[in-house]
Structure 1
Amino acid sequence: MIQVAPLVHSWAFEAIGTVWRIDAASPLDDGVRDVITDAIGAFDLAWSRFRADSLVSRLGEEGGEAPAPADAVAMLDAYEALDTATAGAVNPLVGESLARRGYDADYSFVDSGAVAAPVDWRRVVTWSTDTLSLAHPAVLDVGALGKGRLADLVLALVPAGPAVVDAGGDIAVRGVTQRIALEHPYDASLAIGVWSVTDAALCASAVNRRAWGDGLHHVLDARTGEPVRRYAATWAVARDAMTADAVATALFFDGGPQLAADWGVEWVRMRTDGSVEWSPHSEAELFS
């Protein structure tokens, strides 16, 4: 257990469609809050497919080349690993598939049928530290790991010392131990266990979040455009939130556990029948 001063300074706010909370030992003055707000706004302006003025929306309409956002290499390199590990089930061009099922920029939640994401997305999307290019119009969606990446960026902007950033359930922890409940995907008043996290991040994903219509939700198999059916919720603990977020997504598919092992990530996942699986060295305290 790390002994620290209490996290007496808290700030809760809404951004990118979710509720954030930052707890810190040092004051979060107006200057710090402005810097964090600006960083979240810049990330959203680059990567949100829900904003007509974003970079990915423009590329989605026109294709072409643009200056690369600072996160492009880290996130799209990770997508390559996700694509390989899941045999194409996780794909950054799944945006059109999500929009067709109703998770579109207008939040219409009207299902227009399944469509698979382009399997040759690496030929469509190219990136470097300087440029981000789409060979033709296509809808980028970085939801598999983007919120985790942003949680890491925000934590880096919190003044030095113990701090916790909770980005709607994607939680990055620095200099303190946090006991985090693993929310039951079918009953938010219950937990299937708790996980003590120190100087690491825990990210979760569940099919009850952003769900609509007849069994539709935001976790699609990019190969088919259909929602996943075998797993209801996943949790992953990693050195940083982007890695944990990426693995939490991969765990809905067969290749997820191997990717987690390759990256040194521990995990828990619940099947839709209620049974629970976990990694060999998981330190989560699971309830019977």
Structure 2
Amino acid sequence: MPAQRAAARRSALTGTAWRFDAIGTRWIVRAEPMPPETVRAELMAAIERFDREWSRFRADSLVCRLAREAGRVPAPPDAQVMLEAFRQVSDATGEAVNPLVGDSLARRGYDAGLSLSDRGAHPAPSPWQRVLTWDDGELALTRPATIDVGALGKGRLVDIVAGIVAEHTPGRVVVDAGGDIAVRGSAEPIGLEHPFDTSRAIGVWRVADRALCASAVNRRAWGDGLHHVLDARTGEPVRTIAATWVCADTAMRADAVATALFFDGGPRLAHAWGADWVRMTTTGTVEWSPGCDAELFLGR
């Protein structure tokens, strides 16, 4: 499941770690002490299960089967928590964030083959909750459509991996999936990568027993101004926000708010969920939430 790369960078990666590639991004898992190798096999199995259920980039996934046939299937274990979060994000953004945006992304070129060939804007189904339902242990589509959980799915998987590792070690746990980072048992300084110059940071956020996730339009970008953050209502890429960074109690919520902050309603959702945030507009203006404790290098 290729995942959007986030605009955050670990600044203090030292010592023993597990490093591997999965769901289209680079993972680094650290713990003190490191768990036995059997735990690594357990977390790799969890990642494979999640990918097999939710990836729109592999033909054998549950999501792709539903996209072809619609109907009802047993709900994966993450369906309830993720889709309920999607419901709240969608409500906050007026359906600008929509889990049925998969076909819209594919038409703009972000398809299973990564063709990067633009076939024009295509709004996602609306209201999406009339098409996609999850109840009584089943996940159902009333007609073929492509579910895309990219707005919060990588964060959910980071939480799963961090939970597995934490069960087997009493100390520090840091899980970094391409810049979406969960920290347990310590405080870690994390650089906020400048979306217009990746050799620079706009600040540092010290994250303690929380998660930091980010999104930026310079990642997964192609063609004439196309990128992975689409307004599901229009199928058009966002033009006003360049990057977002969010610190929250879980990586899934941080990931979801990082997406919501590209739209009106994002700050309201962040407040409701107790998340702190920073974002940069495409004109270079930096905004942040009340009480945000990130150290920002403004004016430097």
TM range (shorter): over 0.9
Q: Deviations over 1:135-179 (max 9, x none)?
A: 111000000000000000000111232110001111000001000
Asked whether the equivalents of residues 267 and 279 of structure 1 are also in contact (C-alpha less than 8 Å), the reply is yes
Could you list the structure 1 runs, at least 4 aligned residues long, displaced by more than 4 angstroms after superposition.
none
Question: How many residues are aligned here?
Answer: 283
- Aligned-pair CA distance for 1:129: 6.0
1:175 paired residue number: 185
Counterpart mapping for 1:40-59 below 5 A: 40-59=47-66
Counterpart amino acid of 1:23? R
2:164 paired residue number: 157
2:34 paired residue number: 27
1:118 paired residue number: 125
Asked whether the equivalents of residues 7 and 25 of structure 1 are also in contact (C-alpha less than 8 Å), the reply is no
- Aligned-pair CA distance for 1:119: 1.1
Asked whether the equivalents of residues 8 and 25 of structure 1 are also in contact (C-alpha less than 8 Å), the reply is no
Q: Does 2:72 align with 1:65?
A: yes
Task: Pick the aligned partner of 1:189 from 199, 206, 228.
Answer: 199
Pick closer, same or farther for the CA change 1:128–1:9 going to 2, 3 Å: farther
Pick closer, same or farther for the CA change 1:11–1:27 going to 2, 3 Å: same
Aligned residues with identical type, % of pairs: 63
Whole-angstrom distance in 2 between the partners of 1:165 and 1:282: 22
CA-based RMSD of the aligned residues comes to: 1.1
1:271 paired residue number: 281
Counterpart mapping for 1:211-230 below 5 A: 211-230=221-240
Task: Pick the aligned partner of 1:204 from 209, 214, 217.
Answer: 214
Whole-angstrom distance in 1 between the partners of 2:242 and 2:30: 29
- Aligned-pair CA distance for 1:128: 2.7
Counterpart amino acid of 1:149? R
1:146 paired residue number: 153
Q: Could you say which structure has the greater relative contact order, defined with CA pairs below 8 angstroms and 6 or more residues apart?
A: 2
Which of 60-69 and 123-132 deviates more?
123-132
TM-score by length of 2: 0.93
SS, match of residue 9 in structure 1:
coil
Q: Which runs of 5+ in 1 are unaligned?
A: 1-5
Q: Which runs of 5+ in 2 are unaligned?
A: 1-12
Counterpart amino acid of 2:93? T
Counterpart amino acid of 1:170? D
Q: Deviations over 1:250-270 (max 9, x none)?
A: 000010000001111000000
Whole-angstrom distance in 1 between the partners of 2:160 and 2:76: 13
SS, match of residue 219 in structure 2:
coil
Task: Pick the aligned partner of 1:99 from 106, 111, 116.
Answer: 106
- Aligned-pair CA distance for 1:7: 7.0
Task: Pick the aligned partner of 1:245 from 255, 277, 288.
Answer: 255
Whole-angstrom distance in 1 between the partners of 2:95 and 2:75: 24
- Aligned-pair CA distance for 1:9: 2.8
Q: Does 2:28 align with 1:18?
A: no
Asked whether the equivalents of residues 228 and 252 of structure 1 are also in contact (C-alpha less than 8 Å), the reply is yes
- Aligned-pair CA distance for 1:190: 0.3
Whole-angstrom distance in 1 between the partners of 2:116 and 2:228: 11
